[in-house]
Amino acid sequence: MFYDAFGNFDYYNWITLPLIIFFSRICDVSLGTLRHVFISKGFRKVVPLLGFFEVLIWIIVVAQVMKNLNNVACYLAWAGGFATGTYVGLWIEERLALGLQVVRIITNQDCNDLLEAFKKNNHGITVVDAQGAIGPVKMIFTIVKRKNVKEVIQLISKYNPTAFYSIEEIKNSNQGVFTENTGSGFSSIRKMFPARKGK
């Protein structure tokens, strides 16, 4: 099975073809992962393009597998490519850092220094007086781009380390103060494919 009619190892069927299937699956699954991410973020215009290439690669790979149903290496390459493609797609999405997140901060300590730090770094904030389980607290809301969340967390740790905070994804926002883009190689994606504003 591993050797052709002349007794030589069949490198194409057992090495080259599985590698082609493996890397092709990485490509199409990565595109599929990004397609779902773009849908959730509102980048509707780029989704059909990603879907076209995702399905094109997928059907080519399926055709090769169907031609080699007795080749277990193709099955292993298919499964391995799917698993690796999922990881690669999520890694790319994390690097792109698309979308917005709301950071909610609750503190019963003096937070003037934290608020000034937010303003200095051009983070828009909303402050609300609230009542906690053990007394009055301040609730601070700020909506930031995903790539700026780490900076916000660092400011919290520096100026109000005992504060409770939570982070949540949001789909769209309108108006407000946002940190300027700082050297992101992917910031032009939003300009090319603007998200549809919510009603």
| 143-195 per-position pLDDT tens digit | 988 888 999 999 999 999 999 999 998 766 665 555 665 444 444 444 444 44
Residue 91 and residue 83: Cα distance in Å, rounded?
Answer: 13
Among 10-14, 114-118, 124-128, 189-193, the least confident range: 189-193
Residue-wise pLDDT for 14-27, tens only, equals: 899 999 999 999 99
Least confident of 5-9, 123-127, 128-132, 160-164: 5-9
Please report, for the domain that includes residue 112, its CATH number: 3.30.70.120
E strand spans, the chain: 100-107, 126-132, 135-145, 164-170
Domain boundary, last residue among 96, 113, 142: 96
Residue 197 has pLDDT above 50, yes or no: no
Residue 120: domain span? 100-170
Tokens of 55: 């399905």
Q: Are 71 and 35 in contact (CB under 8 A)?
A: no
Domain boundary among 79, 96, 113: 96
Please report the pLDDT score of residue 6 as a whole number. 53
- 24 belongs to a structural domain: yes
What global pTM score does this model have?
0.65
High-pLDDT (> 70) share of the chain, % = 82
> Which residue from 67, 87, 65, 54 is spatially nearest to 20, judged by alpha carbons?
65
